[in-house]
Amino acid sequence: MTTSVISAAASTRTTASAQGSIELRQVRKTYGDVVAVDELDLVVEPGEFVTLLGPSGSGKTTTMMMVAGFEEHTSGSVLIDGKPVDSLPPRDRNLGVVFQNYALFPHMSARENVEFALRMRKVPKAERRQRADSALERVGLGTMGDRKPRQLSGGQQQRVALARALVFNPAALLLDEPMAALDKRLREHMQEEIKTLQKSLGISVLFVTHDQDEAMAMSDRIVVMKDGRIVQSGPPEEVYNHPLTDWVASFLGDTNLIPCTVLERKDGEALVDLGGLGLGRVRDRGVAGENYAVSIRPEHLKFSSEASADNCGKAALVSSTNLGATVRHRLTAGGHELQVRELSSDATNRPAPGAELFVTWEPDKAQLLVLEQ
């Protein structure tokens, strides 16, 4: 019985998933002289999981608050399902929002919390209860309906918040750093759960986080923000492997940034002079600027026993540190400091510090980018 309710709810969602797009057109937000968000263009396609990733102050939360309607944008337009919602108050935007600290109503039980949106929509009591219970069941809290938020653990509160945001079949889901208050293990678990739930419901998600691992793990697309602007947008692998600026490269994890001069650019590939590391072929996404560098992730640099013409440099090992699953090697090569990371299981028979060796990389794993800093 309960199962059929869930699948029925899930199937309604699937048919409704043709809708649920969010679009921002030239959205700008200023506080006095301070520009919080600047001429932002962003589309979340129906069913897409888009993450706004950036440090604090990058405008990502402000952007979400404008989509939800809690903040009014200074100019531009926000569209949900293709319709402008600029003049709609939050309650008419039909968006499920999960807040950073869940913002559950403390005096209401979990079930009453979940029922709230249905109550506001004047859904009859019996149906309300049934839908709330099946929503709670969907997030694995079928037996916890009578508990007050303070009697629930952080992870359980988070699930209640999710059930509450989903129970009224919103057009899309907005998640504002929902995992920030959870410990690491639980966070990883919830990431998977939310992702699975999102896929099975086919609902569009706009997700805000400053945690790049979280963004990598969950997103269909990552939108990296800095100082109120989008600096790069694309699938997680692309943003990670092919950052467009050195800032993006270092914000999304460790990387080797090697300043270079560009000798030739053709067909998405560039021939660059890496100084002491010789000539190299790297990927080129057409960025233009004054100073260029090449970004290679530590795990994409490989040791090699012999020299080859391109994409290979002579290096001296400085130190090796075992980090458990991986080993981090520090090297110097032609005046540059380099980092190489490899799986511990691969790191057998490595030379002692001071030894000379070669490092090499695949052109596709190295990215030509613009030096901003």
Choices 4-12, 75-83, 161-169, 245-253 (CB under 8 A): range interacting with other proteins: 161-169
SS3 for 342? strand
Footprint on residues 167-186 left by other proteins (CB under 8 A): 168
Output the smallest distance, CB 270 to other proteins, in A: 47
> Could you give the CA distance from residue 348 to residue 261 in angstroms, rounded to a whole number?
35
Rule CB under 8 A: say whether 89 interacts with other proteins: yes
Contact with other proteins (CB under 8 A) among 42, 68, 223, 260: 68
Taking CB under 8 A as the criterion, which residues in 276-335 touch other proteins? none
Of the residues 97, 216, 333, 359, which one makes contact with other proteins according to CB under 8 A: 97
Binding mask 113-152 toward other proteins (x if CB under 8 A, else -) reads: ---xx--xx-------------------------------
Q: Using only C-alpha atoms, what is the Rg of the chain? A: 24
Closest CA to 355 of 317, 298, 329, 320: 317
Burial label, 57 (beta-carbon count in 10 A; 0-12, 13-18, 19+) = middle
| Residue 29 sits in the site that holds other proteins (CB under 8 A) | no
User: Length of the chain in residues, anyone?
Assistant: 373
22: contact with other proteins by CB under 8 A? no
Distance CA 68, CA 91 (A): 9
Is residue 164 part of the contact set for other proteins (CB under 8 A)? yes
Residue 186 carries which DSSP code? Answer: H
Task: Kindly write down the DSSP assignment for every residue of 8-67, as one continuous string.
Answer: HHHHHHHHHTT---EEEEEEEEEETTEEEEEEEEEEE-TT-EEEEE--TTSSHHHHHHHH
- Nearer to other proteins by Cβ, of 147 and 350: the residue is 147
**Which stretches of 81-136 are assigned E, i.e. beta strand?**
83-84, 95-98
Nearer to other proteins, 178 or 313 (CB): 178
Pairing of strands 95-98, 172-176: parallel
Our CB check for other proteins shows the closer of 178 and 278 to be: 178
d(C-alpha 35, C-alpha 303), whole Å: 46
Candidates 100-108, 279-287, 300-308, 320-328; binding stretch for other proteins (CB under 8 A): 100-108
> Counting contacts by CB under 8 A, is residue 197 touching other proteins?
no
Pick between residue 44 and residue 277 the one whose CB is nearest to other proteins.
44
Residues that bind other proteins (CB under 8 A): 68-70, 89-91, 93, 95-97, 99-101, 103-108, 116-117, 120-121, 164-165, 168
